[in-house]
Amino acid sequence: MPTSDQTFGEPFFDKLILHLDGTHGGPMNMAVDQAWLEQSATPVLRIYTWDQPTVTMGYAQSLPKLQDSLPGWPVVRRWTGGGVVLHNEDYTYSVIVPCTDPWAETPAVESYRRIHGALAQALAESGYPGSRLAEPEDVIEAPFCFVAPAVHDVILGPVKVAGAGQRRGKLGLLHQGSVQQVQIAPDFWAQWAAKLAREVLIIETTPEPIMTRATDLTKRRYSLPQWLAERDDLL
């Protein structure tokens, strides 16, 4: 299992699938991540966009408590924790680690630090040399993710530019993140993926079994009003 004294630039996966996915609605975006976690035997870095401005809220958050402060955008509940994220002109990614990969056993704080450390390094090499991990003194408590840096989020000066929520369980690790307030070139994701893994396989088409399962998850979980309100679904 990786240790905390490894440098950020040392790849911690042997092989990684870089899935340059397309544009979907909020429920489908959440469902594709879960489908990958259920089915892939190889870690995945998935990059995707939204078909319209969308709000995602963390698994444990209360919609009634947040409702009055949200914009009038579609809202979807994530399977991961964390705060409210406004997805409009951001870059959205997920790191999916199956339970069969030893790295899925990495403690939560350390996995967050390592993933974001590699991201900060990639940003620093891509025109944002001030990118760094947030320290305890940078932390702000607030329900909206991008006005509230947490320890090991990526910040640029006083501005938070990357944060994420995680879920870990018997299926493995799901890390869903957003990068905001920077401009990223199309080749950035391959450069970052090379910091995460020694071998990177790039795909653009979602495998049929993943899409089939994601379509089912969209109907039976992520598009349901009861999932948004109370975390209830038909699964």
The pLDDT tens digits for 79-125 are: 999 889 999 989 999 999 999 999 999 999 999 999 999 999 999 99
**pLDDT confidence of residue 6:** 33
The pLDDT tens digits for 46-57 are: 999 999 999 999
Reported as a pLDDT band with limits 50, 70 and 90, residue 138 is confident
Which residues does 103 contact at the CB level (< 8 Å), separation at least 6? 1, 2, 12, 13, 43, 97, 111, 173
Average pLDDT over residues 202-221: 98
Average pLDDT over residues 183-211: 96
Helix (H) or strand (E) holding 29: helix 26-39
Q: What is the pTM of this model?
A: 0.93
Residue 2 reports pLDDT greater than 70 = no
Residue 7 reports pLDDT greater than 70 = no
The average confidence (pLDDT) of the chain is 91
**pLDDT confidence of residue 136:** 83
**pLDDT confidence of residue 219:** 98
Asked if 157 contacts 131 with a C-beta cutoff of 8 angstroms, the reply is no
Helix (H) or strand (E) holding 159: strand 159-169
Asked if 184 contacts 154 with a C-beta cutoff of 8 angstroms, the reply is no
The pLDDT tens digits for 139-177 are: 777 666 566 678 889 999 888 999 999 999 999 999 999
**pLDDT confidence of residue 146:** 63
Reported as a pLDDT band with limits 50, 70 and 90, residue 19 is very high
| C-alpha to C-alpha distance for 57 and 194, rounded to whole angstroms | 30
Ranked by mean pLDDT, which of 134-138, 179-183, 216-220 comes out on top? 216-220
Which domains are present in the chain?
A: 13-230 (3.30.930.10)
Catalytic residues: 145
